[in-house]
Structure 1
C-alpha cells in the first residue's frame, strides 16, 4: 500500500511539469514574396521612382519610422553599377508612391523612394535619335542593412546578409494604357496605346471625349511604349485627377522609325483607327481633340488641314506647317505654345508664321508671353488671363510664347510647361465641334475628296 501511495504522489508531481513545458511554437518569420521597381513619368521623362518589397504578412510599426539608411539601393544600367539615393522608406498596402503626408500605412509592402534626379534614374536611353526602354528586370539591387523595429522596440524585420534584385517593374498610369495595333484598309499597321475611362458617361449622352496624342521624333520606333513614357504628353490626360474632372479616351499611336505624322500612309491609318474607335466605343464625335509636340505638333497642323471638320480643338506644341493652308482651319479652336528660342523647330518660321496666317485669314488671335519656368500656379494664372481675354474678344486661336532662356532643360522642350498647365487642358475640354462650323474653303476641300 505504501508503495502505491508513493507512486501516485510521484505521478501527481509530474502533471504541472508537463503543462509548463507546452510552450507555443515561435511565429514563422515574415519573408519576402517579391521585389519590383516602380516607375513614374515625370515632366522630364520616365524614371525609376522607387523599389517595392512585398512580404507575406502585413507590417505594422505603430508610430515608428523607418530610417532611410536602413536600405541601400544600386542600379546596374548599361553594365555600370552605381548607387541610388534613398529619400523615404515606409510601409504600405499598395505598390505605389504615397503622395500623402505623412507617408505610410500598415501593409505587406515596404516602399523605398528614390531621388529621381540621380544620374542613373532613367528608364529610357536616348541613342541614334530615339528613346528606347532600358531593360530593368534584375537591374536593381536592394539590401536591408539595419533591423526594422516597431514603436515598442520589437524587431519586425531583421537585417539581411544578402541583396534582393527586382523581379519586374510596376508602371502606374502607363500600365493603364492597353497595348494594341491596327491594320487599315490599305494594309498599313500602326501600333497604339489606348486609355479607356473607368467612369460612366451618364452625364453626357453622347459619350466621352477622345484625346489623340501625337509623339515627337524621338519616340518613333516599334516599342509601342516610348510614346507614352518619354514625356507627360499622354499621361497628363490619364492622371486620376484629370480623369475625375474630364473622363476621356486617350489614344497614343506610334509611327515607325523613318516615318512622320505627315506620311500619307501613317496619317491615313491613324484617321481610320480614330474612326474605328469612335464607331465601337462610347465616344462623343463632337469632342475629339488632337495634341502633339515637335514632330507631333507639325503633324497636328497637317492632320487638321487634311481633316478640317473632324476635330473639336487642338493643342500643338513646338510646331510648324504650311501657312498657305491655314485658312482651311480658321474655324478650329487652337491653343499653340512654343519657346521663342527653340533651336530645333523655329518659332518665327513655325508657330508664329502659322498664326500670322490665321490673322491674315480673318481669325482674331490672342497672344501672350511668359517664362517657361514659372511656378505652376503662376503659369496657370497667366493662362487663365489669356483665356479670359480670348473669350472677351470672341477669339478661339491662342498663342503662348515662352521667353528665351526660360524653358526647362532645353529650349525645344516647350511641352514641359504646356502639359503641366491645367488651365490649357481645361480649355481643351471646354471645346465642342458643334460650336464651330468649317469654313467654306474647308467644306469645299472635303467635298473634293
Structure 2
C-alpha cells in the first residue's frame, strides 16, 4: 500500500485536502479535513468517517457532501480534529470489500498529519453506521470511541440489502449480543431518528440494550424523536457529542 502526499498545510482555518492511496494496485481518492494551525501544536485527535450508500463512487469528493462534511465546512475555524473521509466504491459495502480502503486511508493520514493514534474515533451514517460496527469489530482495540448514526447490525426489515449485514457477527445466534460482548470496553454513543423509515430505530435500540446487558463501560443512546433517516444532521450538530468524543482515549 502506498499513499500520494504533499506537505501538510498550516492554514489559519481548517480545510479539506485531496489525497490518494494505492491498495492492491488500485488507486482510491479520499479527503482529509485538516484543522486550523492553532489546533496542531501537538498530535490532533482523529475521526474516521464512513459515508452512506448515496455517497459511494470514485470522485473522492462526494463522501464529504452529506453528514459530517457539511458540518465541518460550517465550523472550519473551530473544529479541532483531523477527519479522514474514505469513499466506498459503487456497489460495495463498508461491511465487505470497502473496509480495507478505510483502514488504508486512516493509516496514511495518521502518518502524514501526525494524528494521535490513541485518540482515533470512528463514525458513520446509514451504510456507514453499519460499517462503524463492522470495522470496530475487526479491530476492537484500535478506536477510542464509536459514534454509529442510523446504522445497525442486521438487515431483517424488508430491504434487499443483506450484503450490509455486519459480517463479523453474522453467524452468531444473537448478532447483537455477540457484537456487544466484543465491543463492551469501547465507549459508544449511538444515534438514530425515531421516525427513520429507511433503517428502523429498533436496530440501534437493540444494540444499545445488548451493550448495557454486556456491562459496557460507556454505552449511550440518543434518539431524536422527530428525525427521519437524516439524523446525521442533528448528531453532528450536537455539541455534547463532540465534547464526549474528544475526551476519549484508547485504553483509558
What's the TM-score bracket when you normalise by the shorter of the two chains? 0.7 to 0.9
Q: TM-score, normalized by length of structure 1?
A: 0.46
Per the alignment, residue 177 of structure 1 pairs with 16
Structure with bigger strand share is 1
Per the alignment, residue 250 of structure 2 pairs with 433
Per the alignment, residue 163 of structure 2 pairs with none
Residues 355 and 181 of structure 1, relative CA distance in 2, 3 Å threshold: same
| Mapped partners of 2:199, 2:55: distance in 1 | 17
- The question of whether the paired residues in 1 share the 8 Å contact of 2:30 and 2:86 is answered with yes
Per the alignment, residue 78 of structure 2 pairs with 242
Per the alignment, residue 162 of structure 2 pairs with none
- The question of whether the paired residues in 2 share the 8 Å contact of 1:191 and 1:224 is answered with yes
Q: Which has the higher contact order (CA 8 A, sep 6+)?
A: 2
Which of the two has higher C-alpha Rg? 1
Per the alignment, residue 299 of structure 1 pairs with 131
- The question of whether the paired residues in 2 share the 8 Å contact of 1:189 and 1:269 is answered with no
Residues 316 and 242 of structure 1, relative CA distance in 2, 3 Å threshold: farther
Query: Is there any run of 5+ residues in structure 1 with no aligned partner, and where?
Result: 1-174, 364-394, 436-449
Q: 1:399 aligned to 2:221?
A: yes
- The question of whether the paired residues in 1 share the 8 Å contact of 2:49 and 2:124 is answered with yes
Count of aligned positions: 216
Per the alignment, residue 360 of structure 1 pairs with 213
- The question of whether the paired residues in 2 share the 8 Å contact of 1:305 and 1:326 is answered with no
Q: TM-score, normalized by length of structure 2?
A: 0.79
Per the alignment, residue 287 of structure 1 pairs with 119
Query: Is there any run of 5+ residues in structure 2 with no aligned partner, and where?
Result: 1-13, 154-174
| Mapped partners of 2:100, 2:231: distance in 1 | 28
- The question of whether the paired residues in 2 share the 8 Å contact of 1:222 and 1:256 is answered with yes
- The question of whether the paired residues in 1 share the 8 Å contact of 2:194 and 2:223 is answered with yes
Matches within 5 A, 1:2-17: none
Deviating above 4 A after TM superposition, structure 1's stretches of 4 or more consecutive aligned residues are 200-203
| Mapped partners of 1:299, 1:355: distance in 2 | 16
Matches within 5 A, 1:321-400: 321=153, 322-323=175-176, 324-348=178-202, 350-363=203-216, 396-400=218-222
| Mapped partners of 1:326, 1:187: distance in 2 | 35
Matches within 5 A, 1:248-287: 248-264=81-97, 266-287=98-119
Q: 1:424 aligned to 2:246?
A: no
Per the alignment, residue 224 of structure 1 pairs with 60
| Mapped partners of 1:189, 1:301: distance in 2 | 25
